Structure 1
Amino acid sequence: MSTLTIERLVVGYGDGAPVLDGLDLEVPDGGVVALLGANGAGKTTLLRALLGLVPVRGGRVLLDAADLTGLPTEDRARRGLALVPEGRSVVAELSVAENLRLGALWGHTGAARDAAVGQMYELFEPLARRRDAAGHTLSGGERQMLALARALVARPAVLLLDEPSLGLAPLVVAQLLGVLRDQAEATGLTVLLAEQNVTGALSVADRGVVLSLGEVVADRPAAALAADPALRHAYLGF
């Protein structure tokens, strides 16, 4: 289990105004936090900054009190951070099995790697049936399953997801979100889930955090946030 702590984070692009300006957030170990907000709220920028993909102008990113702020992306990955970006990112030319073995290179060797890949086939049965299929032949739902499985197979401490339900059928979304909830409970995986599917995200989250113009405007238990019509109407559009 690992706690992700964000302290006074300032992030921007080029010489422009900050996208995130002094953001504070804690994602507790073994918990699922839904990161909510309209387009442009800063959700993707935050996830990218946590992996070192966007320069940080100020503040700190801590994983179990270890400061990751100045580390390159690959070192943050070795420390246990994993990102599933928007867009179902898989290696299109490789098969399902090859994509999973590639993900398992982090922290696994030999029999342990095979066991980790086998666990992903148990979690995502459609991938087991298509293990020899190339990534570009998969359906949108299968590609998102593969992107999630490739991140999980490395057994990260903290999993960051950017809009995993985008464009997917409700049944597939329910399966993916259910896997996240189950993994958090079974393995202590810490999850920060950026979503515009507010209802689905809050249904599996312990807490909901609402961003607006790069600032946290609400941080509440998921059930309480879902039950607050004024906040939903003001910031979440329903």
Structure 2
Amino acid sequence: MSGALLQVDGLTAGYGAAPVLHDVNLTVQPGEIVAVLGANGAGKTTLLRTLSGLVKSAGGRVAFDGADLAGTKVEHLVRRGIAHVPEGRGVVTELTVDENLRLGGLWRRDRADAKKALDEVYELFPSLAQRRTFAGHQLSGGERQMLALGRALIGRPKLLLLDEPSLGLAPKVTAHIMTLLRDLRERTGLAVLLVEQNVRSALSIADEGVVLALGRVVTRNKASVLRDDADLRHAYLGF
């Protein structure tokens, strides 16, 4: 689709000689939330790790904001506007909340705007503002997820790659995280590629969904269509 922020064509990738992803195609438009769904082992995390430069692709093309990303280093992807929040939060537990957040803006040259972004994150996550001097290991699971999100947002990304944000969280906390993602999209135009095992939550905020099975795309459609397709849900999504 023309005008896509992220365009993935025929992506093949994996570890060693064994491909995990096979000829994957997808797009993410500016300001769009796309949910990547599928069972364990479907290739969802490998997809995000490949897009963020942590896994080398074996074939296909990835373009971001009109530019081919082949050979782009991880740190340069961040500067171009791609932020990756991996499964397991990725918080530095020995550092304080404030130190973790400031890590997200160390590379930025506009120090005034980096400070403004930090203030905005504290406004977005009041519980982090109240715990800014707490070490990462003193936070709850939900607070660590908010911290990981906040650190990614300090860089003002155009695209957020978010892997299993609800993992290990209570349903109420999960609902809060999903609401925050939807609000961020509406307020800032942030695009999100969301990998999530909690299918109902993901589809409740997504515009479109991509279903993976054994590293291949089995369907792409509007989130509302996927929610209403009982056969597809039973076959690939477990509900």
The alignment's TM-score, normalised by the length of structure 2, stands at: 0.96
Q: Tell me how far apart the structure 1 counterparts of residues 173 and 122 of structure 2 sit (CA, whole Å).
A: 16
**Is the 2:43–2:212 contact (alpha carbons within 8 Å) kept by the matching residues of 1?**
yes
1:122 lines up with 2:126 in the alignment: no
TM superposition shift of 1:107 = 2.9
Who is 1:145 aligned against? 146
C-alpha distance after superposition, 1:120-177 (max 9, x if no partner): 1111111011011011111111111100110012110110011010010111111111
Pick one of 6, 9, 30 that aligns with 1:7: 9
Matches within 5 A, 1:1-238: 3-16=5-18, 18-107=19-108, 109-238=110-239
Point out the more displaced range, 193-202 or 167-176: 167-176
- Secondary structure at 2:15's aligned position in 1? coil
- Secondary structure at 1:62's aligned position in 2? strand
- Secondary structure at 2:79's aligned position in 1? helix
Against the structure 1 CA distance between its residues 181 and 106, is the aligned structure 2 distance closer, same or farther, given a 3 Å change threshold?
farther
Q: Tell me how far apart the structure 2 counterparts of residues 127 and 106 of structure 1 sit (CA, whole Å).
A: 22
- Secondary structure at 1:12's aligned position in 2? strand
**Letter matched to residue 207 of structure 2:** D
Q: Tell me how far apart the structure 1 counterparts of residues 179 and 109 of structure 2 sit (CA, whole Å).
A: 25
TM superposition shift of 1:78 = 1.1
Q: Tell me how far apart the structure 2 counterparts of residues 28 and 36 of structure 1 sit (CA, whole Å).
A: 18
Equivalenced residues, count? 237
Q: Tell me how far apart the structure 1 counterparts of residues 123 and 236 of structure 2 sit (CA, whole Å).
A: 38
**Is the 1:2–1:157 contact (alpha carbons within 8 Å) kept by the matching residues of 2?**
no
Two-structure CA RMSD over aligned residues (Å): 1.3
**Is the 1:2–1:190 contact (alpha carbons within 8 Å) kept by the matching residues of 2?**
no
C-alpha distance after superposition, 1:83-113 (max 9, x if no partner): 0000011111111011111112243533322
**Is the 2:4–2:27 contact (alpha carbons within 8 Å) kept by the matching residues of 1?**
no
Identity of aligned residues (%): 60
Point out the more displaced range, 120-129 or 108-117: 108-117
Q: Tell me how far apart the structure 1 counterparts of residues 132 and 163 of structure 2 sit (CA, whole Å).
A: 25
- Secondary structure at 2:87's aligned position in 1? coil
**Is the 1:2–1:30 contact (alpha carbons within 8 Å) kept by the matching residues of 2?**
no
Question: Structure 1: which 5+ runs fail to align?
Answer: none
- Secondary structure at 1:19's aligned position in 2? strand
Question: Structure 2: which 5+ runs fail to align?
Answer: none
Q: Tell me how far apart the structure 2 counterparts of residues 146 and 222 of structure 1 sit (CA, whole Å).
A: 28
**Letter matched to residue 174 of structure 2:** V
- Secondary structure at 2:165's aligned position in 1? coil
